[in-house]
Amino acid sequence: MQKAAKVSVFLLCLTPFVWLVTRTLTGRLGINPVEDLELTTGIWSLRFLVLTLAITPVRRVTGWNRLIRYRRMLGLFTFFYACAHFAVYVGVDQYFAFALILKDVVKRPFITMGFTAFVLMIPLALTSTTGWIRRLGKRWQLLHRLIYICGVCASIHYLWKVKVMIGSPVYYAVTVALLLGFRLLWQLRSSKLLKPQRVTA
Amino acid sequence: MLLKRTPDIASSEITDERLYVKRREFMRIAATAAVGAAAAPLFACSDEAVGASAPGLASPDGLFGAPNLPLSGYKEKAVTVDEKLNTVDQITGYNNFYEFGLEKDDPKRYSGNLKTSPWTIKIDGLCNKPADYQIDDLIKPIQLEERIYRLRCVEAWSMVIPWIGVPLSKIIERAEPTGKATFVQFTTVLRPSQMPGQRDSILEWPYVEGLRMDEAKHPLTILAVGLYGKTLLPQNGAPIRLVVPWKYGFKSIKSIVRIRFVDKQPDTSWVLQNPDWYGFYSNVNPNVNPVRWDQSRERRIGTFLPRPTQMFNGYADQVASMYTGLDLRRNF
């Protein structure tokens, strides 16, 4: 039962990719196909990032703790779509012009942001296995807080990409800010709660 | 002249045109014709109607105010480039026209309610003959020309488009600007009820653009009323728009209702929005990258590999002399 649920979620997460590949192979991408590939992979990576970040707040609020079982998968799908996004940028948009790509990363702030988010995801994906979780112990949690920075960088990447800051990029940035803000508030609240406890102990 | 004829349009005949004119637009036109106010053949889709669409048969709505009508009598390829044209679907389906939304397919999807006839253009400011023109009265006295131009968007994509229009210089001549007039300002129609993007504060509405007088009078600068042999569709700036091929696309302001002669460099929408990124001149320049896009290369819509961007979008021979002595890095 539990396995069936996991497989279903996995397939669901893969659907946007399968659909994009189908559209690519059947020539049903937009009038600017490169832009279509880039936008679709990018937006899905950001969507999965938001979902990953939402697990903890939703658990805390609803007490639905089983959600934690899906966090790793969602995180890895974030990375998967980010890889696809990066691959499209390097291989299709820039057509492997590495000198120009390097210039882009250094000179164009919105690319710098996207690149930073992507690079920071790599150690997270690599240490996502049960073995690494055990080996790193407490340091694992600390390391995986990097996803907060990924969230900030990815949001800015999208915000700075558009010519006018309105609509969808703003909604994503606000959502990420709320999800991170929730953690901050939770932290503050629990540290306040802890102190009197210590006094009474 | 009135041709009272109910449009006898079988649905089978509409199919071809439906790709080009949206259904509701078609319905609107058909309804207009049905009340007998319009010359039905102009709007019908049969071959017979196409033949009857000479300017002399114009309806009260006029010829240029109605979208997607066949144009005739224009000088073919008056200016052209030796490059492959973009398709009608590309040119009419991938547009930046924020009055209709931010996405590239928004203009096509949400522009069907724009009423382009009747259409009045106010020409005023520092000139001897200010006037309000109906679009047909403004355009008809001038020989239409087909101009096949490259269009380079500031977002680093480009197209090749067969415009049909008239040199702006002819219209400027008729208005007789005074010696004080050194710039020309253009204004897009303001109609939030028909242009959903204008209900959001994307830019300061209405959209305004401007040119220096010598740029406005340059033989390459045109007011376009059509493309691919037909009058413009709303997503391309119907019924009348500017085309300045050596500048980034946003300079070529769409759906113009006012042309004003002024003695100072006028406000332009993108400069108002972000003066660090956009300049008044906005000449295509592969060496200057004020906006976050890298301007040294571009992707031609319909092709895969990026290509190098040309200085002044390939029109340097014709226009570079206007900018001698001007620091193009500062005056981007």
**Mean of pLDDT values over B292-298:** 85
Whether the predicted pLDDT of B9 surpasses 80: no
**Mutating which of B91, B292, B301 best tests the A interface, going by the most A Cβ atoms within 10 A?**
B292
Q: What integer pLDDT is reported at residue B252 of this predicted model?
A: 98
pLDDT band at A172 (very low <50, low <70, confident <90, very high): very high
Asked if A164 and B102 come within 8 Å (Cβ–Cβ), the reply is yes
- Residues B260-270 have pLDDT tens digits of 999 999 999 99
Asked if B292 and A166 come within 8 Å (Cβ–Cβ), the reply is no
- Residues A82-94 have pLDDT tens digits of 999 999 999 999 9
Tokens for A38, please give them: 């880039």
Whether the predicted pLDDT of A15 surpasses 80: yes
Provide the domain count of chain A.
Answer: 1
Q: Which of A162-176, B51-65, B224-238 has the highest mean pLDDT?
A: B224-238
CATH number for the domain formed by residue range(s) B73-323: 3.90.420.10
Spell B287-297 as b/e; 16+ CB within 10 A means b. ebbbbbbbbbb
Whether the predicted pLDDT of B41 surpasses 90: no
Higher pLDDT, A141 or B4: A141
The domain of A72 spans 2-200
- Residues B300-332 have pLDDT tens digits of 999 988 999 999 999 999 999 999 999 998 889
The alpha carbon of residue A94 is apart from the nearest alpha carbon of chain B, in Å, by: 7
**Mean of pLDDT values over B110-131:** 97
Amino acid at B151: L
| Numbered ranges of CATH 3.90.420.10 in chain B | 73-323
ipTM of the complex: 0.85
Q: What integer pLDDT is reported at residue B111 of this predicted model?
A: 97
Angle of the B23-34 helix axis to the B11-18 helix axis, nearest 10: 130
Asked if A31 and B292 come within 8 Å (Cβ–Cβ), the reply is no
The verdict on A101 touching B (C-beta cutoff 8 Å) is: no
Q: What integer pLDDT is reported at residue A165 of this predicted model?
A: 85
The verdict on B308 touching A (C-beta cutoff 8 Å) is: no
- Residues B74-90 have pLDDT tens digits of 999 999 999 999 999 99
Q: What integer pLDDT is reported at residue B289 of this predicted model?
A: 83
Task: Report the length, in residues, of chain A.
Answer: 201
Q: What integer pLDDT is reported at residue B83 of this predicted model?
A: 96
Asked if B94 and A94 come within 8 Å (Cβ–Cβ), the reply is no
- Residues A111-145 have pLDDT tens digits of 999 999 999 999 999 999 999 999 999 999 999 99
